[in-house]
Structure 1
Amino acid sequence: MDHRPQAWGRPRDDVYGAYDHSYMQDNGPKQNTQQPIVTGTSVVGIKFKDGVVMAADNLASYGSLARFTDVKRLRPFAGTSILGFSGDISDMQYLDRHLIDLSLSEAYESPDKPRLSAANLHRYLAKLLYSRRSKFDPLWNHLLVGGLDDAGEPFLAAADLLGSTYSAPSLATGFGAMLAQPIMRRYVPDEESAKNLSREEAVNIVKEAMKVLFYRDARSLDSYSLAVVTKDGVELKENEKLEDQSWAFADRIKGYGTQTV
């Protein structure tokens, strides 16, 4: 082996001949991800009068296997915004590294006050997702972005793998769009209702939604992350547990398990 510093670990050309790079050449077609493999399920978010509450469980499933039980799918950005990821975990990690670089750039260029509000960040991510979709190599994620907009008002919006965007007083991805949204819309059917909602009420609504998702969504977990974004910053708790989630009541259901009649 060639142990000179400029060629660590390579065979010496003067002894073994020139290194053959031909096996590294790939003349095949360009390959992109065809479907997500390890995935996270629902993210739920709701506005209240001073900010946004968002939650997502800590499970990453390999198909139908509950494989990874400590995957945090909420990410704070620059102390001003929170992102919730559902969909492919590897694409989430790619976006996470991308956002770390962006936040470092923000801190370097504007150390006193971040330039990107939650609305700016959502617009940036939507453009990124649309760009990847236009290359036929989409990021298999559905994102929620929460925080404050440029005017200091609560902001909550979504962006999917096609780059499509929409906003509402309450949002959910995955099964949460069918199971959690009816619960949240009962309390905040419009923007005016969100302006009258307190922080404690919003947190309780989100906890209720996470409890329903745990019971009804087979790809969910009773351990979850909960974030609250206000003008004071991001408060993130990553190891919350659902209360009273015992399945003991199932023993009283006729036909459940081995029973003697």
Structure 2
Amino acid sequence: MSHHPAMWKQPSAHSSFNDYATFPLAQTQRHSAISHGATQHTQQPLVTGTSVLGIKFDKGVMIAADNLASYGSLARFRDIQRLHPLGKHTLLGVAGDMSDYQWLKKELDALLRQEEALSLTDSHPSLSPSNIYDLLANLFYGRRSKMNPVWNAVLVGGWDKNKKESFLAFIDLLGTTYTAPTLATGFGAHLAQPLLREAFEAKAGVDGKGPLLTQEEGEKLIDDCMKVLFYRDARSINKYQVAIITEEGITISDSKSAPTEWSFAEGLRGYGAQTQ
């Protein structure tokens, strides 16, 4: 029997509560197992971001993501920037768990600071977009192999100063990696990717050897795709940012909205004044 003051007039330790009546006994044992037993990992993401879109244009790469982080089905955080610059010519667009995204930013920023310090003391070259892509590919696959995945899908976009060309690649929590001139995560892979690919191939050809979209054409295409995602993806909002990465550097736009039209809903059965 416990004589701790917190236990006065409380259920005994033999009941379903612990000595301090703060948690049910089973839950206390579970906390103890987490603290002192086998290592436990996050089983599912909680606060999540949705689609990220990317496309190459004639002078670089364009990546877009909305500003929403959802808590389940609740549109909880509406001013989250999911586009993160890494140095002067590389940018990360992140979907998935926002806490893992925050951890990823912290780790990568620390790495870049180390690389910058080394470059001041010798001729150490700066990390290119493909270097960061290789690093993340190994990190994501390594964490997946330990049954502790990084719950994100990311697009890495940038400008390679050595090769004088743009770079765009995809990595997900399973360590799946590939590059392509148009990419998307989440529902964007189903809803926006066909639009991106169609517009890209219409100008550059199926083999991609023709002229690429101009910056103006790319921005209009991204706006149209973000509008479609707002219409169709329940975890998105009509507030997004577009990052443009060129040889000159990175530019991230202020949050903006695409013009939308909802009057068609009045003609649908079950909406508006229509009853038959």
TM norm. shorter chain > 0.5: yes
TM-score by length of 1: 0.85
Q: Distance in 2 between matches of 1:34 and 1:254?
A: 41
Pair 1:256-2:271 in alignment: yes
| Conserved? CA contact 1:171–1:177, under 8 Å | yes
Pair 1:158-2:170 in alignment: yes
Structure 1 residue 260 displacement after superposition: 6.4
- From 187, 190, 197, the equivalent of 1:185 is 197
Query: Residue 253 of structure 2 aligns to a residue in which SS?
Result: strand
Q: Distance in 1 between matches of 2:125 and 2:92?
A: 16
| Conserved? CA contact 2:129–2:159, under 8 Å | yes
- 2:226 match: 210
Q: How does 1:38-57 map to 2 (within 5 A)?
A: 38-57=47-66
Query: Structure 2 counterpart of 1:187, which letter?
Result: A
- From 235, 240, 265, the equivalent of 1:219 is 235
Per-residue CA deviations over 1:97-145 (Å, capped at 9, x if unaligned) read 1111122123222259961111111111111111211211110000100
Q: Distance in 1 between matches of 2:130 and 2:221?
A: 24
Q: Distance in 2 between matches of 1:131 and 1:229?
A: 29
Which stretch of structure 1 is more off in the superposition, 228-237 or 120-129?
Answer: 120-129
Q: Distance in 2 between matches of 1:55 and 1:127?
A: 25
Q: Distance in 1 between matches of 2:207 and 2:236?
A: 29
Query: Structure 2 counterpart of 1:44, which letter?
Result: L
Q: Kindly indicate whether structure 1 or structure 2 has the higher relative contact order, using CA contacts under 8 Å at least 6 residues apart.
A: 1
Q: Per the alignment, do residues 163 and 194 of structure 1 end up closer, same or farther by CA in structure 2, a change over 3 Å counting?
A: farther
Q: Which aligned runs of 4 or more in structure 1 are off by greater than 4 angstroms?
A: 111-114, 258-261
| Conserved? CA contact 2:157–2:167, under 8 Å | yes
Pair 1:98-2:110 in alignment: no
Q: Distance in 2 between matches of 1:131 and 1:193?
A: 35
Q: Distance in 1 between matches of 2:68 and 2:207?
A: 31
Which stretch of structure 1 is more off in the superposition, 128-137 or 244-253?
Answer: 244-253
Structure 1 residue 41 displacement after superposition: 0.4
Task: Name the % identity.
Answer: 50
Query: Residue 196 of structure 2 aligns to a residue in which SS?
Result: helix
Query: Structure 1 counterpart of 2:265, which letter?
Result: A
Query: Residue 35 of structure 2 aligns to a residue in which SS?
Result: coil
Q: Per the alignment, do residues 193 and 72 of structure 1 end up closer, same or farther by CA in structure 2, a change over 3 Å counting?
A: farther
RMSD, matched Cα? 2.2
- From 79, 83, 89, the equivalent of 1:80 is 89
TM-score by length of 2: 0.80
In structure 1, list runs of 5 or more residues that go unmatched.
1-22
- 2:137 match: 126
Q: Distance in 1 between matches of 2:210 and 2:83?
A: 22
Per-residue CA deviations over 1:21-61 (Å, capped at 9, x if unaligned) read xx9x9322210010111110000000012100010000011
- 1:239 match: 255
Q: Distance in 2 between matches of 1:129 and 1:220?
A: 25
Q: Distance in 1 between matches of 2:55 and 2:178?
A: 14
